[in-house]
Amino acid sequence: MKQTRRSKYSAIKPIALQHIANGASASAVGRDLAIPAPTVRRWARQAGIAIQHQSHCPKVSMMDKHRVIYEMLMAGTYSVAQIAAQAGVCTSTVYNRRARLTTMNTRSRITPGDVSRVGTGRRLGLAERLVIAEHLRAGHSHRRIAQIVCRSQSTVSREIARNSVDGIYDAYHADQASRGRLARPKLRKLDDNRFLRAQVVDLLNRGASPRQASDRLAALWGDNTSMTISHESIYQALYVQGVGSLRKELVFEKSCRTTRPGRKPRSLLAGVPKPRGKRWTHDANISLRPAEANDRAVPGHWEGDLIIGADGTSALATLVERRSRFVLLGRLGTDHTATSVNEIMVRMIRRLKESMDTTMSTLTWDQGVEFAKHTEFSVAENIQVFFADPHSPWQRGSNERMNRDIRFYFPKGTNFTDVTDQEVAEAEALLNNRPRVVLDGLTPREVISGVIHDAMTA
């Protein structure tokens, strides 16, 4: 009698179920016993035996599959079917990924309504950031990610460094943060940080210029960027923003001590000797001054001048130390002859010795007649005196620059007979405690005190 298919399978069924119970897969049992795998699954289902699903291939993460898809799509030499077979996905997955890449490339050209355009560059979009995040999780290098998104390596590196939080880069957070930085108008730093604003106002009220205030804050706070500000931002707050809203908080009417639009030209007669020299300048020309005084390497070299008051009837003697820009002021009454100038010079130098425990090595003056008796002063105080060339104020640049600051407290037209010694002392203290750009934000008093301390401990 011919054996039917049903009777044949009936004989094999117990064997198949035994293999299933032992953990074999339906496909493996069907292959070994030459019966369809669906039949084996049906028998197991009817018998209530759970089928173990096994794979002969190692499990591949979806991230690895996507990486294969991206790399093969970027190569541009494979068909969708080839990519799907290589990645182990269906063709619809490859089509979807290709559509995302097409959208990304379109957006990277900055279409209206996509990402904000600033300057002439094009900024990263969300689609590109998603690709960056995906490949970072896959462990790819910045160079490889840059090749995938068709960007420079520096662009990708800056993007990751700027928008990573605790070393983790999130595409959506990065995109939101980037759009936030692009938003205009922004809250200005002086409006956002009240403590910083108070510091700036205090420095300006003490006579510092915006540049000096900026350098002083940098010297005090160092790397704390929340407490530093550029001098241009201070100027903007004084003259532009809110019609000079910062100026309303100042005690003084102006924080910029000059309204001159440009520099004054040097004299056309600079360096041109006169036919007849002044006898008190003989053997004391600035060309004979020691080299250590010229390069400001050693303290103790000073520059001096007189600021003449109203109608030329009064004067103020000024001395400036070349290295630290430390200033000494001395008020002269109606008499500013050579004898009177010598007397005030002696008093100022002795006051310097008593208060700062330092002295003066050289003094550079202009060729004014008020210092015609300098030899008496030089011998008495053991100080070398030198005279600048005619029409060459830059040879005493520190003193000329300081005179401009002194005019902030004693404007042109001031009669120094109406000014008290106490007012002069207060102006001197303010000048010596004002931060200086040339001193990297330090004050003259801080610099000269540090130099003296170093010399005493050396």
The percentage of the chain sitting over the pLDDT mark of 90, rounded to a whole number, equals 21
Give the pLDDT score at 109.
Answer: 42
pLDDT band at 107 (very low <50, low <70, confident <90, very high): very low
Give the pLDDT score at 409.
Answer: 92
* Rounded Cα distance, 14 and 44, in Å: 10
Give the pLDDT score at 108.
Answer: 43
Give the pLDDT score at 454.
Answer: 66
On the question of pLDDT at 408 being above 70, the answer is yes
Which position has the higher pLDDT, 407 or 65?
A: 407
Give the pLDDT score at 61.
Answer: 60
- Across the range 417-440, mean pLDDT stands at 92
Angle at 393 between CA 379 and CA 435, to 5 degrees: 90
* Rounded Cα distance, 74 and 439, in Å: 56
Per-residue pLDDT tens over the stretch 214-260: 999 999 988 888 899 999 888 888 776 554 567 777 765 554 555 54
Give the pLDDT score at 406.
Answer: 93
Give the pLDDT score at 261.
Answer: 40
Which position has the higher pLDDT, 338 or 422?
A: 422
Per-residue pLDDT tens over the stretch 247-282: 777 765 554 555 544 335 555 555 555 545 566 677
The percentage of the chain sitting over the pLDDT mark of 70, rounded to a whole number, equals 79
Per-residue pLDDT tens over the stretch 166-209: 889 988 889 888 888 876 777 788 888 889 999 998 998 888 88
Per-residue pLDDT tens over the stretch 340-390: 888 888 889 888 888 877 778 899 988 888 878 877 878 778 888 898 888
Is the C-alpha dihedral spanning 422, 427, 428, 429 positive or negative?
Answer: positive
pLDDT band at 142 (very low <50, low <70, confident <90, very high): very high
Give the pLDDT score at 421.
Answer: 92
Which position has the higher pLDDT, 132 or 67?
A: 132
* Rounded Cα distance, 293 and 314, in Å: 31
Give the pLDDT score at 218.
Answer: 92
- Across the range 399-413, mean pLDDT stands at 91
Q: Domains of the chain by range and CATH?
A: 5-47 (no CATH), 62-111+123-182 (no CATH), 189-249 (no CATH), 279-457 (3.30.420.10)
Per-residue pLDDT tens over the stretch 301-328: 999 999 998 878 889 999 999 999 999 9
On the question of pLDDT at 126 being above 60, the answer is yes
How would you label 100-139 residue by residue, b for 16+ Cβ within 10 Å and e otherwise? ebeebeebbeeeeebbeeeeeebbbbbbbbbbbbbbbeee
Mean pLDDT across the chain: 79
